[in-house]
Amino acid sequence: MAQDPGDKVVAFFVNDKEGDGRDVSWLWDIDFEELAEDEANLTVFAGGIRANDMQVRLKYAGIDAQVVEDAEDLLAKIKGLPATQNAYLIANYTALPPVHSVLTAQAEAPAAHGAAEGSPSTPGAVDDAGTSRADSAPKDAPAGSPAGAEGPSSVASAPSAAENRDSLVIAHLFPDLLNLYGDGGNVRILEQRLRWRGVPVEVKRVNHGETVDLAGVDLVMLGGGPDREQRLASAELMGMREQLHDYVEDGGVLLAICGGYQILGREWLLGDEVVKGLGIVDMTTERAAGGSGDRLIDNIVLRSPLAQRPVVGYENHAGRTHLGAGVEPFGTVSSLRGTATTTPTSRTACATETWWAHTCTARCWRRTPRLPMIC
């Protein structure tokens, strides 16, 4: 697809059935921004059970995507377009068979062989007037954005003075190690929302072995990773302990997720070991009594005093984090499933005025568009 220099239609079909995996945070590990850099005219569609998640991911990559019901709906929308444009249909595991079935039926239908001259077998993206939908759609307000999803169309124009202010600096610590569930998606979303508001932003991605001076940083992001990667990252973070502690005490903002959240405490789990943490937050993490058999895996909804609407996330962990006296929870679980990190009290994560920590992987902001900006 990247090697095709012409105008094109691209459709992504994403399901989250058991065979696919319920968690679709992997969408944020894919560099759709590369597709956005294509100089050709693109018309992009999103389908499948998680069509709206796909649409949101593309939106933050700068790509306007229309939602379609299924492959038949897609073919109807692009019917009769020039054969000079190719169409690419990409589907994950359980989404593929129905897409393949529709395409096979289309190819075998008698009408396919008697189509009018110029009708595409692999059509591109032109509307009824012959105008590319990519050209006709507003560049700063994706058409058909999911209900409630924040975007340029819902953000008031930023003061012109913002153009002259210093950049807001985000330090993403060890994204090469701590990005197991697409945790970097939170950074992408913060970066894009700031730009929509006219706020200059600089993202410093600090990889393993590199150093950063937090003195000029406005927000620090910590994600989670597999045991080996978290062990490597923890060694680096322990070496930064005093700097991180001073940063938080001085009012610096810290967002921590998954293993990045647990390491902030006095003790946390590293593989099967309980090891010393950074001690920035009065909390400890221990393995559930049933081990992996008591692993909490599911979508989760919670109520938080920091958000006007429910916060939606995805949890996947066998640890149980216990908050110390006076440490306020980030929110309280309100979904029927999920008991979060502090069973049986059903509290999840924690927060103060300057740092937020959460066990729900990856999707603080992208699944909860009205969660307030903390910078």
Distance of CA 229 to the CA centre of its chain: 20
Query: From CA 369, how far away is CA 170, in angstroms rounded?
Result: 19
Dig out the tokens for 325 from the structure: 């006296």
pTM for the whole structure: 0.75
Q: How many CA atoms lie within 13 A of 260 on its CB side?
A: 29
Low-confidence ranges of the chain (pLDDT < 50): 112-148, 153, 156-162, 164, 338-346, 352-354, 359, 361-363, 372-375
Distance of CA 60 to the CA centre of its chain: 9
**How many other CB atoms are found less than 10 A from the CB of residue 13?**
25
- ∠ at Cα 171 (166, 172), nearest 5°? 145
DSSP 269-286: EETTEEEE---SSSEEEE
Rama region for 211: left / alpha / beta (φ>0; ψ in -120 to 50; rest): beta
Residue-level pLDDT at 132: 36
Residue-level pLDDT at 81: 72
Residue-level pLDDT at 143: 39
Residue-level pLDDT at 366: 52
- ∠ at Cα 299 (298, 300), nearest 5°? 110
Query: From CA 14, how far away is CA 95, in angstroms rounded?
Result: 6
User: For residue 132, what is the DSSP state?
Assistant: B
Angle at which helices 51-60 and 184-196 cross, to 10°? 60
Residue-level pLDDT at 288: 80
Query: From CA 81, how far away is CA 86, in angstroms rounded?
Result: 10
Query: From CA 280, how far away is CA 100, in angstroms rounded?
Result: 52
Length of the chain, in residues: 375
Distance of CA 257 to the CA centre of its chain: 13
**How many other CB atoms are found less than 10 A from the CB of residue 219?**
21
Please report, to the nearest 10 degrees, the dihedral formed by the alpha carbons of residues 206, 209, 215, 216 taken in order: -30
Residue-level pLDDT at 293: 74
Residue-level pLDDT at 241: 95
Edge-to-edge strands, sheet with 319-323: 273-276, 267-270, 283-287, 319-323
User: What single letter denotes the amino acid at residue 176?
Assistant: D
**Measured CA distances, 266 to 56, 185, 229 (Å):** 37, 27, 20
User: What single letter denotes the amino acid at residue 217?
Assistant: V
